[in-house]
Amino acid sequence: MRTTTRSIPFALLLTLTAPLAADQVSGMAKWDGPPVRRQPVRMDADPKCLELHEGGEDLSPKLLVGEKGGIQNVFVYVEDGAGIAGAGDTEPPSDPIVLTQHGCWYEPRVMGIHAKQTLSIVNDDPTLHNVRSLAKTNRPFNIGQPPEQPPRNKTFPLPENAIKFKCDVHPWMEAYIFVLDHPFWAVTDDSGAFTIDGLPAGKHTLVAWHEAFGERETEVEVSGETGGVSFSFSP
């Protein structure tokens, strides 16, 4: 197993616990450190946002760690996925991926989308949002979206990692979108678990990314035996 560390502000350890099941990679992302404290966010910038939350504030979703240490919103993808036979030639899904502005937050906070697939941006709040995409490979955009308006649809023709979305009206609102030309990716759920299906047997490079902890890559050998990958984040 070859492990390469990219520049990160925290240490991120990854261990391969056993041979992996053919056609599937599954595992966990866990926090191995002191309790993580979510920061409160005061929503003074907009009285409508204040009304949506008791006391006028909410806890930031930037660091979501469960009671058992599972880390949510870690994006895990196969770096060499487009090189797998036929993967780079797949047509984008016809169903759109939805990014919702709800409670003056973006939902989901971290997501993946196929290149050229439709991103449908929905405003579910009773206030104006400004949606700014800070794309670099694709064309960035900056649009206003009043309440009770139809979704705004966008597409990204080129692969690009971790495009940051922000709202200029509400500076605490952030989201990250990965644009890929293959289907081999997943986002960890609230227990820290992920599963990537349909991955052919052989050697592949897996990358795990978190907005605060950085990223790490490792080579895994996908074989016919059951197993999993464990990502352990620590300070």
What is the pLDDT tens value at each position of the chain, 235 positions in all? 443 444 434 444 444 444 454 578 889 999 998 999 999 999 999 999 999 998 999 999 999 999 999 999 999 999 887 777 667 667 889 999 999 999 999 999 999 999 999 999 999 999 999 999 999 999 999 999 999 999 999 999 999 999 999 999 999 999 999 999 999 999 999 999 999 988 888 888 899 999 998 888 878 887 754 357 888 888 7
d(CA 235, CA 230): 17
Closest CA to 143 of 156, 129, 155: 129
Q: At residue 140, what is the residue type?
A: P
How long is the chain? Answer: 235
Beta bridge partners of 154: 119
Output the pLDDT for position 182.
92
d(CA 67, CA 198): 31
Beta-carbon contacts of residue 47 (< 8 Å; ≥ 6 apart): none
Beta bridge partners of 98: 120
Tell me the whole-structure pTM to 2 decimals.
Answer: 0.88
Output the pLDDT for position 80.
81
Beta bridge partners of 164: 176
d(CA 214, CA 12): 8
Output the pLDDT for position 88.
66
